Amino acid sequence: MSRDYTGGINILRDRQQLIDIIKHRLSPNRWQHSLQVAETAVQMAGQYELKLEQVYLTALLHDYAKGLSGQELLQLAEENNLIEDEVDREVPDLLHAPVGAFLVKRDLGIEDEEVLTAISRHTLGSTKMSDLDKIIYLADMIEPGRDFPGLERLKCLSFRDLDEAMLFGLESTIKYCLDRGRILHPRTIEARNYFLRIIKR
């Protein structure tokens, strides 16, 4: 893997130090998930010619705040102006993405805005997603530990066309929430409509 990318690792001596920090912070299952997301994301990055080290770093860190309780996430989000919608308060677990980006910058000294943005957008999606954002979002959905209807199609799309994959992934998430009577976040709906318009052009 290329070591040309160093912009996101400021206070960390090397990748092993980063791995030790994340592994200590996450549960064993969450750590395994993060490793599988990183491996999947790197495979996708090779397809789309992204910086492999940047992608690997982002994927490892994407669930950095996942171990926090809903109350802890909400408190951190409120204290640091990370609340963007009332739904954030109703479903605070969704805040693990923006709170994770905040903590990665504050605690680890990572200042690469592309990395931080991809972490913050990996749960809800966005109408302004970079290829890095899309890869982290999709790798999180298709890593080997996942199993849901449409997974194989999403895997194929993810290595063929990121925008089509985003549309399919967002619609799968929306259907999942609807089937279970869960609240839909408006940013996910906005992102779905955005990618639908792109593909129909």
pLDDT, tens digit (0-9, with 9 covering 90-100), for 7-28: 545 444 567 888 899 999 999 9
pLDDT number for residue 60: 95
pLDDT number for residue 13: 52
pLDDT number for residue 14: 67
CA distances from 130 to 6, 80, 114, 162, 199 (A): 19, 24, 8, 10, 16
Evaluate whether 100 touches 73 at the Cβ level (below 8 Å).
Answer: no
pLDDT number for residue 11: 42
> Across residues 37-57, what is the average pLDDT?
95
pLDDT digits (tens, 9 = 90+) for 160-196: 999 999 999 999 999 999 999 999 999 999 999 999 9
Q: Which CATH architecture has domain 15-148?
A: Orthogonal Bundle (1.10)
pTM of the model: 0.92
Angle at 103 between CA 88 and CA 36, to 5 degrees: 85
pLDDT digits (tens, 9 = 90+) for 112-152: 999 999 999 999 999 999 999 999 999 999 999 999 999 99
- H or E segment at 167? helix 162-179
Residue type, 141: M
pLDDT number for residue 10: 44
pLDDT digits (tens, 9 = 90+) for 82-113: 999 999 999 999 999 999 999 999 999 899 99
pLDDT averaged over every residue in the chain: 92
